[in-house]
Amino acid sequence: MKIAVLKEQADGERRVAATPETVRKFIALGATLAVETGAGETASIADAGYADAGASIGDRAATLSGADIVLGVQGPDPATLAGVSPDAWIVASLNPFAERARVEAYAAAGYEALAMEFMPRITRAQSMDILSSQSNLSGYKAVLDAAAEYGRAFPMMMTAAGTISAAKAFVMGVGVAGLQAIATARRLGAQVSATDVRAATREQIQSLGAKPIFVENVAGIEGEGTGGYAGEMSPEYQAAQAELVSGHIAKQDIVITTALIPGRPAPRLISAAQVASMKPGSVIVDLAVEQGGNVEGSVAGEVVVVNGVTIVGHRNVPSRLAADASALFSRNLFNFLSAFWDKDAGRPVLDAEIGDAIRLTQGGRIVNARLSS
């Protein structure tokens, strides 16, 4: 069983899909590991670290030759997979809705493509969940990015020269990233409020010492929502939410938006008029910018200033913490493959619950129900 770890090719991708720690663990299971030269460089892992852990280091062709499983952070370009066994597994974050042509190419080549972001949200899969591990880091980094752009301090400071008041931070979307953003902004000393459409988050916001801001006159999503995910809200809810946000946002210094809907464009939570109502010097970080953005005027890959308000739209935020993001991503991959490792077969054998959820292609066809419509 040969596992290949590629150097990521996507622009701005600094993460890597294995670390020396996970290489050692895979070898202990009986696998052979091949790592492409320089794969870990941007995540501060030298080739020697992988070699010491027992991996062979080589160019892309040598790494891929005879590989049974190819690990990536993002899906590798199918055109560059020459040498991989036709029935090999490609295991990565495959962005299946946006990268349909790529998924079709994996199918045509015979590969079994496994999309880690389709991991079901069930208790036993928590340690395999790349969305959680990466969102956690994004929520943290979003607050630091906001602090770096903000021309004031976060905490209240009482000095001999007078008092500086605490920054007011508002977190919109309280999933994994939002909860970490609340915790981080609180640690920096901001006064934090937060909102979500899922009722279960109200208590979570309070437990972190922040103030919940909720639409009260129109029902949102009860409890956790299906699988912890939100859906598109009714026009009535959206109107009530817009009114609520308008009243609140003008008083905020920092806004972090994280709201996503799986398989759909991100919901628009802040209009240009609401941005214009904010004080000059305020900062908005739109973590949903690559999915279409929660904020009108945010631009993917750019930091823009509109009426004195800075809107931060960094792409691939986890990659901005490449070392930790790689460590967690790699463990997610290892936790997944090792949980299904069949000693007799010398390779992982998936069960239906997880296999059917994440498998995109098999036997030359697209087989995932979420891609069939």
The binding site for ligand NAD (CB under 6 A) comprises: 121-123, 125-126, 129, 131-132, 135, 172-178, 195-198, 224, 228-230, 233, 258-261, 267, 269
Half-sphere exposure of 272 (CA within 13 A, CB side): 6
Burial (CB < 10 A; 0-12, 13-18, 19+), residue 280, is exposed
Q: Can 111 be counted among the known catalytic residues?
A: no
Decide if 261 contacts 273 (C-beta within 8 A). Answer: no
Question: Which is nearer to ligand NAD, 121 or 186 (by Cβ)?
Answer: 121
Q: Can 129 be counted among the known catalytic residues?
A: yes
Question: Which is nearer to ligand NAD, 84 or 205 (by Cβ)?
Answer: 205
Write down the least CB distance from residue 276 to ligand NAD, Å: 21
Q: Which of 50, 74, 129, 180 is catalytic?
A: 129
Write down the least CB distance from residue 214 to ligand NAD, Å: 10
Q: Whole-angstrom Cα distance, residue 350 to residue 115?
A: 13
Question: Which is nearer to ligand NAD, 40 or 175 (by Cβ)?
Answer: 175
Write down the least CB distance from residue 327 to ligand NAD, Å: 18
Residue 229 neighbours by CB distance under 10 Å: 15
Instruction: Kindly state the tokens that stand for 2.
Output: 């040969």
Q: Can 150 be counted among the known catalytic residues?
A: no
Q: Which of 202, 229, 271, 338 is catalytic?
A: 229
Question: Which is nearer to ligand NAD, 4 or 311 (by Cβ)?
Answer: 311
Decide if 90 contacts 114 (C-beta within 8 A). Answer: yes
Q: Which of 126, 165, 207, 234 is catalytic?
A: 126
CA dihedral 101, 103, 109, 112 (to 10 degrees): 180
DSSP assignment, residue 112? E
Write down the least CB distance from residue 294 to ligand NAD, Å: 8
Q: Can 229 be counted among the known catalytic residues?
A: yes
Q: Look at residues 359, 352, 36, 214 and name the one whose alpha carbon lies nearest to residue 369.
A: 359
The catalytic residue positions are: 121, 126, 129, 132, 229
